[in-house]
Every structure is written in C-alpha cells, then in structure tokens.
A and B are shown apart, each in its own frame.
Chain A
Amino acid sequence: MHKKLSLVLVFAMVFSLIAGCSAKGSSNKAVNDEGGTIKVGLDYELTGNVATYGQGLTEGIELAVEEINNDGGIFGKKIELVKTDNKSDSAEAANVATKLATRDKVVAILGPATSGNTKGASPVAMQNKVPLISASATADDITVDSNGKVRDYIFKTCFSDSFQGVIMANFAFDDLKAKNAAVLVDSTSDYSKGLDKNFKEKFKDLGGAVVTEQAYQAKDKDFRAVLTNIKGANPDVIYLPGYYEEVGLIVKQARELGLDVPILGGDGYDSPKLAEIAGKSVLNNVYFTNHYTSKDTSPEVVKFKEAFNKKYNKEPDAFNALGYDMAKLFADALKRAGEPDREKLKEALESTKDFKGVTGTLSIDKNHNPVKSITILELKDGEQTFVKKQEP
C-alpha cells in the first residue's frame, strides 16, 4: 500500500518538475508588463561585506525612479522595482538574477555592485537574454569575454579598472612627483588585481620603478608584517587598490608604523565606513580615483544633490550618483526603445550617445563600456576634497 502510494507521489513530483521546466522555457522571452507597471529587477549587495555599495546604489536608483514615475512614468506606465539581496556573494547574485529573469520577468536587471558579483550574475542574463546593467563593476572583462567578444546583454555605466590604474599612475608620477612606488594588492579580488596591473604598467612606462610588491587577502586583520616590508623598501607612494574594510585597517596600521607616504587607491575607498574603521585623523595624504564628487558645481550635480538631500536627508556619495545615473540612462534607453521589450532595450542601450548624467556625460562604445570622465579626490582628516577631473 505504502509502496504504491510513494510510487504515485514520485511520479507526481517528476511530472511537476517537467511541467515547471517547460513552462519556464516557453515564457522565456516574455516580459511581464501586466498591471500597468514595467518591472525592473535590482540584484544588489544589501547585506554582506560590501553592503554599503549596494545600499548606496539602491538609494540612487529609487530616487531616479521616483522622479520618473512622478513625471508620468514611461509609455504611461509606472516603473516598479523588484528589489533582491545577493548577500555580497557571487553565487547568490546568480540565483537572484535567475529569479528576476524567469519568475518576475523583468525587462532589465540593474546590478550587482562589484565586479565579482556581476560576473556571477551575467551568465544568467546572457542565457535569459535580459539586459543587465551594472553601474559600478569596474573590471575590464565585465562586458567583453576573454576572447574579446562582446557579451551582448551586459552593459556598464562606470569606467574600467584599466582606466583607474592608468590615471593614478599618471597622477603619482606627474603631480606627486613619485619615482618609487610600492604596491599592496588584495590577492583574492579581481578588482584589486586589475587596478594593480594597469598601475604598474603605466608607472613603469612613465619611468618610475615599482620597488616592492606585497599582497594580502580579504578578511585579514593584521597587515603589519607586509607594511613593515614596504617601509623597508622606502617608497615615495603606496598604491593600495582594495575595498574599504581592509583599506581602513591598512591605512590605520601603516600610519601607526610611521609609514607616512601618500596612499593611492580607487573607487573602493568611497564609503563612510572607511573613516569609521581607520579613524578620521589618520586619513590624510590619501588619494583615490572616483566616479563623482559632491563638491562638483555643475548644474546637474547641484540639482541631484538637492533632490537627494530632500529624500534622504544626507549628502549623496558616488554610489548614490552612479545608481541615479544608471536608472536615468535605463529610462532614457527604454523610451528610445519604444516598448518594454528586452531585445529593443538592448539595441537602444547600445546606441546611447552623449547622455548627460551626474557622473559626467557618457556614450556607450562598441564594447558596451562608457566613455566618460574620472575624478581624483584627496582625503583630508577623513573628508573628501576635490583635486581634479580627468577627461578620457
């Protein structure tokens, strides 16, 4: 009796599995625009070790969408955000992307924040033919695979690591007059290694020397051994591409060891947590490349700052601005596409030209990367100050 029953159950389960699959397969391309809204998926780091990036981007996106919806939405329909949390984990980023693409049937996925997580989610986007736009994944190989082929449905709206590394090498050599540089890399992060590679190449091309190369691993807490090595090599500057958690601890411990030379880095420094971890008084003589600064006085930035301040009652940081720009760019492309269709949206994104955003004017090139300017900032007692803006 029991055997028969369980056999029936097994069949029922197998059948439902098959049914489930085919249902998914047939509605693969369809976009859910019933109920008068256009669904957009957000795949972000809302918790986990880079949570402030994901949260910041989400705030920017929500502000932009609120403005778009208040202006009547697109094609008379409101944009509805489907927010998901990838827990700062690349496997989870792929899981939630699958959910967004197949179950929620979104027209596009915005996110994730970091390069590693974006790489996790992008195969899902490719497979389901849904455009995925990341506003902050700076790795060079996000939109282009290792054979140089463009990933059709993947876009990004921030500059690439190679650009950040090159600009910083120029800045160190020309502006800081540094001849000897030390590099300290997070060996577990594609982002850190990408910046490091391009910095070293450019710095050596310019005639500088890299006197020592040291490495650490994400989640390390004690960096004094490698910092003592760097101190022994006597560099003029330290290039330290990484994320705020480790960078905060490294800068603090470096200054404690009496290592007072300029420390240079990339957009991973842009988090209020950096000053909390390192302490404001040690964050001096620290320079980094970034997408945007709230000290900029162009009319777009001023208008954005006002609106952001009104909604969240604080100054927007670069991630807020990037999220805002990306959502606006998405809306712009969707309008040009003419209807909420994934394929048409992809084509519209490809033909973006001179889009005026808060983080600069950008055009999408043939590799799905933006052409836009870069900002160099200096930290003085933990406060960001504007140094200069570099055109590509």
Chain B
Amino acid sequence: MEQFLQQLVNGISLGSIYALIALGYTMVYGIINLINFAHGDIYMIGAYVGFALTTFFHMGFVPALLLSMLVCAILGIIVEKVAYKPVRNSTRIAALITAISVSLFLEYGTMYFVKAETRTFPNVLPDVSIKLFNGVIINIRDLYIIAITILLMVVLQYIIHRTKVGKAMRAVSLDREAAQLMGVSVDKTISYTFAIGSSLAGAAGVLVGVYYNSIDPLMGMMPGIKAFVAAVLGGIGIIPGAMIGGFFLGITETMVSAYGSSLYKDAVAFAILIIVLLIKPNGLLGKNVKEKV
C-alpha cells in the first residue's frame, strides 16, 4: 500500500509536468487548429533563458520565470509572423510541415549556440523532501509545479472566457471570416494566442529545468510529444482536458514502470492513447462536434 501511494505521488508529479506543457499546446490548437510542434522547443528555449538569467545574472526564481515567459512570448509571436502566417491559408499539411521545420530549426539552432552538453541550474528553489503519512515522500518542488500548473490553468480559463481578448480568440476559433467582419483583428488575436501559449511553454521550461536540474537543446522533443498526447487524451482544445490528460499519462507511465516493466512504459502509454481515442475520439473531455463542411 505504501509503495502504491508513493507511486501515485510519483505519477502525479510527473503528470503535472506534462500538464504544464500541454496547456499551451492545447490552447494554440483550440484557437487556430494548428498543431504547433515547435511548442516543445519554445519550452526548451524558456529553460535556457531561465538558466542564463539565474546563472549569469544571478536573478531569483520568480523574476527569472517572468522574464523568460516574456522572452518566449516574443519568440512565439516572431515564429508565428515569420513561419505560420504565410501558410495560414494553405493546406493543413503545409502548416504541419512548417511547424516541424520550425521545431528542428529551433533545436539545432540552439545547439549551435549553446553546444550539445547538459547544463545545470543553480539552486534557486528550496529542495526539501516532505514526509507524508506511511513514509510516502513528496518533494516541495512537486508541490510548486502542481500549484503553478493549476494556477496557470485557472488564469488561462479566465482569459479565454472572461476577457475581451478571450472573446476575440473564441470568435476567431469559431469562424475566422465572420469574426473579421465583426471587427475582430484576426492577426492581432492570433499573435496574442501565440504570445500566451509560448509564455506558458517558457514557464514550463524554467520549472522543469529547476526541477530536474539538467537541460539540453533536445530536451523539448520527448516532453513535446508527451504533452501533445496528454492534450489529445484530454480532448485537444479544451483547457481542463490538458490537465486531466497530463495527470492520466503521468500516472499511467508510473504505474506501468511500477507493476510492469519500465522498458515498456512508453509503449503502454501510447497503446492506452490509441484505446482511449478508439472509444472516445474527441478525448476524455471532448464533446462530439461535427466537422464543418
């Protein structure tokens, strides 16, 4: 029992990292129906910006987090303007290929500048293990990640459902041309979407960098895919779905490692994804929306 509870805690803390990255993923998809493969790499750049700020400029955790969110927001806008906007009205496959190219460009471009070796963060967050009942142990950093993920999710929900920008985003996502006719600036709204989505990725990068204390230029690849899976699992485009998908994936992986074999954890996690999608094609929280013709 004790071991099971510990594994559950392990799974939740791993899942909260996936959820954190999945939030931005799902948001960009929800608004402009683009699978932004570069999301995982903006996450990586966020981690490097955070690393530079804390290591070379000796900033504290919170200012480094905010500044790296800002840098990533700007980067997100630039990526959208340079790479995605010109193909916005082309086929979806063109947009997808562009997204993959941007992802590879960011990975290997960064590798050129910072070298491929692993870097380590300075100690900016307290590193304390808390003993819960029965000897189950949770690190204070896990609590930070879970709290920040939930906070960001609430903020995101608020922005989308309660603010003017959010209303514009929802309008654009529903019908781009009609929104434009009603006086919504589509370009501006999409820029906002990318800014917010990328700043979430930046926040995730700094948090994960501090959490595992090891960053490298290819660190965005696997979490990017996992977060995408989490977003799809929860129902892509739905913000609480990203959260639930993330936790679901994290707990599944951990339980497979715990009671099966750690070598097959990815295989099993992705098999579950396929099964969920067969039963509920729109994800766990997805509603059955008919495709517009």
Pair B263/A187 contact, Cβ less than 8 Å: yes
Q: Write the residues of chain B forming the contact surface with A, with a CB cutoff of 8 angstroms.
A: 3, 6-7, 10-11, 13-14, 115-118, 120, 123, 127, 129, 135, 137, 139, 212-214, 216, 222, 253-255, 257-258, 261-263, 265
Please list 22 pairs of residues, one from A and one from B, whose beta carbons are closer than 8 Å in the complex, sorted by A's number. A51-B115, A51-B117, A52-B117, A214-B262, A215-B262, A217-B263, A224-B254, A225-B7, A225-B10, A225-B262, A225-B265, A228-B3, A228-B6, A229-B3, A248-B214, A249-B212, A249-B214, A257-B129, A257-B137, A258-B129, A273-B117, A279-B127
Which residues of A sit under 8 angstroms from B257, Cβ to Cβ? 225-226, 229
Which residues of A sit under 8 angstroms from B7, Cβ to Cβ? 225, 228
Pair B213/A88 contact, Cβ less than 8 Å: no
Bound complex: CA of A228 vs CA of B10, how far in Å? 9
Q: From residue B264, how far is it (CB to closest CB) to chain A in Å?
A: 10
Bound complex: CA of A276 vs CA of B213, how far in Å? 9
Which residues of A sit under 8 angstroms from B139, Cβ to Cβ? 256
Query: Which among B11, B253, B262 is the interface contact of A216 at CB below 8 angstroms?
Result: B262
Q: Which of A216, A217, A228 has the most CB of B within 10 A?
A: A228
| 10 A-B pairs with least C-beta separation | A225-B257, A224-B10, A276-B120, A225-B254, A232-B3, A47-B116, A221-B212, A48-B116, A51-B117, A228-B6
Which residues of B sit under 8 angstroms from A217, Cβ to Cβ? 263
Secondary structure of the B contact surface, majority rule: helix
Bound complex: CA of A2 vs CA of B212, how far in Å? 60
Query: Which among A49, A258, A279 is the interface contact of B216 at CB below 8 angstroms?
Result: A49
Which residues of A sit under 8 angstroms from B265, Cβ to Cβ? 225
Check A306 for interface membership: any CB of B closer than 8 A: no
Q: Write the residues of chain A forming the contact surface with B, with a CB cutoff of 8 angstroms.
A: 47-49, 51-52, 87-88, 187, 214-217, 219, 221-222, 224-226, 228-229, 231-232, 245, 248-249, 252, 256-258, 273, 276-277, 279
Q: From residue B219, how far is it (CB to closest CB) to chain A in Å?
A: 8
Q: Which residue of B lies closest to A227 (CB)?
A: B10
Which residues of B sit under 8 angstroms from A276, Cβ to Cβ? 120
Pair B214/A277 contact, Cβ less than 8 Å: yes
Query: Which among B11, B117, B123, B258 is the interface contact of A279 at CB below 8 angstroms?
Result: B123
Given A216-B262, A257-B137, output 8 extra A-B contacts at Cβ < 8 Å.
A222-B14, A245-B118, A249-B212, A256-B127, A273-B117, A276-B120, A277-B118, A277-B120
Pair A256/B123 contact, Cβ less than 8 Å: no
Which residues of A sit under 8 angstroms from B116, Cβ to Cβ? 47-49, 51, 87-88
Q: Which of A215, A221, A276 has the most CB of B within 10 A?
A: A221
Pair B261/A215 contact, Cβ less than 8 Å: yes
Q: From residue B203, how far is it (CB to closest CB) to chain A in Å?
A: 18
Which residues of B sit under 8 angstroms from A257, Cβ to Cβ? 6, 129, 137
Bound complex: CA of A138 vs CA of B277, how far in Å? 46
Bound complex: CA of A229 vs CA of B260, how far in Å? 11
Which residues of A sit under 8 angstroms from B10, Cβ to Cβ? 222, 224-225, 228
Which residues of B sit under 8 angstroms from A49, Cβ to Cβ? 116-118, 216
Pair A47/B117 contact, Cβ less than 8 Å: yes
Q: From residue A235, how far is it (CB to closest CB) to chain B in Å?
A: 14
Q: Which residue of A lies closest to B262 (CB)?
A: A226
Which residues of B sit under 8 angstroms from A245, Cβ to Cβ? 118, 214
Q: From residue A94, how far is it (CB to closest CB) to chain B in Å?
A: 19
Which residues of B sit under 8 angstroms from A248, Cβ to Cβ? 214
Q: Which residue of A lies closest to B123 (CB)?
A: A279
Pair B262/A273 contact, Cβ less than 8 Å: no
Which residues of B sit under 8 angstroms from A258, Cβ to Cβ? 129, 135, 137
Query: Which among A47, A219, A249, A256 is the interface contact of B137 at CB below 8 angstroms?
Result: A256
Bound complex: CA of A232 vs CA of B135, how far in Å? 12
Pair A228/B115 contact, Cβ less than 8 Å: no
Q: Which residue of A lies closest to B258 (CB)?
A: A225
Bound complex: CA of A258 vs CA of B131, how far in Å? 10
Which residues of B sit under 8 angstroms from A224, Cβ to Cβ? 10, 13-14, 254
Pair A252/B213 contact, Cβ less than 8 Å: yes
Which residues of B sit under 8 angstroms from A231, Cβ to Cβ? 3, 6
Q: From residue A196, how far is it (CB to closest CB) to chain B in Å?
A: 14
Which residues of A sit under 8 angstroms from B253, Cβ to Cβ? 225
Q: Which residue of A lies closest to B111 (CB)?
A: A47
Bound complex: CA of A215 vs CA of B265, how far in Å? 11
Bound complex: CA of A276 vs CA of B254, how far in Å? 27
Which residues of A sit under 8 angstroms from B13, Cβ to Cβ? 224
Q: Which residue of B lies closest to A255 (CB)?
A: B129
Pair B115/A47 contact, Cβ less than 8 Å: yes
Which residues of B sit under 8 angstroms from A232, Cβ to Cβ? 3
Q: Which residue of B lies closest to A281 (CB)?
A: B127
Pair B118/A273 contact, Cβ less than 8 Å: yes
Which residues of A sit under 8 angstroms from B120, Cβ to Cβ? 273, 276-277
Q: From residue B207, how far is it (CB to closest CB) to chain A in Å?
A: 13
Q: From residue A90, how far is it (CB to closest CB) to chain B in Å?
A: 15
Q: From residue A92, how far is it (CB to closest CB) to chain B in Å?
A: 12
Which residues of A sit under 8 angstroms from B14, Cβ to Cβ? 222, 224
Which residues of A sit under 8 angstroms from B262, Cβ to Cβ? 214-216, 225-226
Q: From residue B127, how far is it (CB to closest CB) to chain A in Å?
A: 8
Which residues of B sit under 8 angstroms from A87, Cβ to Cβ? 116
Q: Which residue of B lies closest to A47 (CB)?
A: B116
Q: Which of B115, B120, B139, B262 has the most CB of A within 10 A?
A: B262
Bound complex: CA of A229 vs CA of B139, how far in Å? 18
Q: From residue A86, how far is it (CB to closest CB) to chain B in Å?
A: 12
